[in-house]
């Protein structure tokens, strides 16, 4: 399926806080453009869903020693 998910890459450990912020800003832009919604948010993680293909993406902020992540998921 051709959607915005095809342009996203999984990240299993951010290279620093600015890398995380850049990814967060891209996802905020995707929400503004109507491609994604936030379905859950807490102090550790934000969960997004693609409006077109329903793919779930999880974004976790780095908090030393945890490096954070941006990953596809099958479950919320």
Q: pLDDT tens digits for 10-66?
A: 999 999 899 999 999 999 999 999 999 999 999 999 999 999 999 999 999 998 888
Question: How would residue 1 be classed by pLDDT, with cut points 50, 70 and 90?
Answer: low
User: pTM of this prediction?
Assistant: 0.92
Strands 36-41 vs 45-50: parallel, antiparallel or unpaired:
antiparallel
Question: How would residue 75 be classed by pLDDT, with cut points 50, 70 and 90?
Answer: confident
CA distance 18 to 1: 31
CA distance 19 to 75: 25
**Residue 54: burial class (beta carbons within 10 Å; 0-12, 13-18, 19+):** exposed
Domain boundaries, the chain: 4-73
């Amino acid at each position: 399926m051709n959607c915005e998910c095809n342009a996203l890459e999984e990240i299993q450990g951010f290279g620093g806080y600015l890398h995380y912020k850049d990814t967060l800003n891209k996802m905020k832009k995707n929400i503004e453009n109507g491609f994604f919604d936030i379905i859950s948010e807490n102090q550790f993680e934000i969960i997004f869903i693609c409006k077109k293909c329903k793919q779930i993406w999880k974004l976790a902020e780095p908090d030393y020693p945890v490096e954070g992540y941006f990953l596809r998921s099958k479950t919320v």
